[in-house]
Amino acid sequence: MNKDRQFSGIIPPVSTIFTDRGAFDEQGMATLIDFLIGAGVDGLFFLGTGGEFSQMSADERKQIAEFAVRHVNHRVPVLIGVGSTNSREAVQLSRHAAQIGADAVVAINPYYWQLTEKNLLGYYSDIAQSMALPVILYNFPALTGQDLHPALVKKLVGQHANIVGIKDTIDSVAHLREMIVTVKGEYPHFSVFCGYDDHLLNTLLLGGDGAISASANFAPQLSIEIYRAFIREDRASAAELHQTLLQLPLLYKIDSPFINVIKEACRLCGLNISTWSLPPSGPLNPQQKESIKEILNRAGLI
């Protein structure tokens, strides 16, 4: 396994686009993909939380993964979400991602049972051993109910050479710092991404590698400019841009799940896509839409 860092920068967790009747919308999906690649993203993560994987069957997930790989066509790395409540399905989806030519898989931990460490290690070992693709762990304890703590992650990285990074979606700079110090300190090739928009700059300052965060769907240029300013050591510009990014998490309080909020923000920012989301996510009311518009307007995005 190559010990150079494999993934870094801004990788949007891409929304999945459906028609107003609930069918997968290939044209709308292509519109969003092309927009993001044109903006200069460093990869695309499909079938994550905002990609509505939890509302889909395995066959639906495979269909979308196949379209994503085909349409991206090697322009940027494609990461496919494979996490599940059961190991068999996660392995099946991982092998499918490898077969269709994805560049990596992203695996959230099971989100029903509280697993013992032994069983959690076993879940990730099953995925890592099932195919040769790089594996990015996905930590989102607010939704899964269980934290992937740094000591556990370090153990997994030591056991499996193809576990190469983590999307650490946790509202704690201390957790990100410990992940970077504990895991990246031992394995410098390991990539640590924040999952919350407002932690991007802190993640970079601590030695992390970028963000996989929702606002990169509708305002990718903002996170990209912060990342690029940081890389060229223009910390003043990065900090100034980050003040705008800090305003965007207010969007995610408008509805739960906030999948429809992201899509409405995409529409308001000029993307001609449907905002329909899979149940139990429902349509936004006029007041919610106005709140989204106000936040984007204050941030100078529309």
- Nearest CA to 222 among 251, 192, 198? 198
Q: In what order do the strands lie in the sheet with 104-108?
A: 9-10, 210-211, 191-194, 163-168, 135-139, 104-108, 78-81, 44-46, 13-14
Q: 4 pLDDT band (50/70/90 cuts)?
A: confident
Cis amide bond preceding 188, omega within 30: no
Binding residues for pyruvate: 212
pLDDT-wise least confident of 68-72, 95-99, 112-116, 124-128: 112-116
| Whether pLDDT at 93 is above 60 | yes
- Please report the pLDDT score of residue 88 as a whole number: 98
Binding-site annotation: residue ranges: 212
pLDDT band for position 3 (cuts 50, 70, 90) = low
**Are 257 and 234 in contact, with CB atoms under 8 Å apart?**
no
Question: Chain centroid to CA 159: how far?
Answer: 24
CA 189 – CA 212 distance, rounded (Å): 18
Long-range contacts of 96-100 (CB under 8 A, 24+ apart): 96/62, 96/65, 97/65, 97/131, 97/133, 98/131, 98/132, 98/133, 100/65, 100/66, 100/69
Q: Torsion over CA of 141, 143, 145 and 149, rounded to 10 degrees?
A: -10
Please check whether residue 301 is in contact with residue 260, taking contact to mean a CB–CB distance below 8 angstroms: no
pLDDT band for position 74 (cuts 50, 70, 90): very high
If you search the block for the tokens 């990730």, which residue do you land on?
124
The residue ranges of every structural domain in the chain are 9-234
- Residue 1 confidence class, pLDDT cut points 50, 70, 90: very low
Strand partners, 108: 138
* CATH class of residue range 9-234: alpha beta
Instruction: Read off the pLDDT of each residue in 122-134 and give the average, rounded to a whole number.
Output: 98
Annotated catalytic residues are 138, 167
**CA–CA distance, 191 with 166 (Å, rounded to integer):** 6
Three-state DSSP class for residue 218:
coil
Indicate whether 57 pLDDT > 50. Answer: yes
pLDDT for the residue numbered 2: 43
259-268 and 286-298 helices, crossing angle to 10°: 60
Encoding tokens for residue 19?
Answer: 């028609």
- Percent of the chain past pLDDT 90, that is, above it, reads 97
154 C-beta neighbours (distance < 10 Å), count = 18
User: Residues 29-41: what's their mean pLDDT?
Assistant: 99
Tell me what the pLDDT averaged over the chain comes to. 97
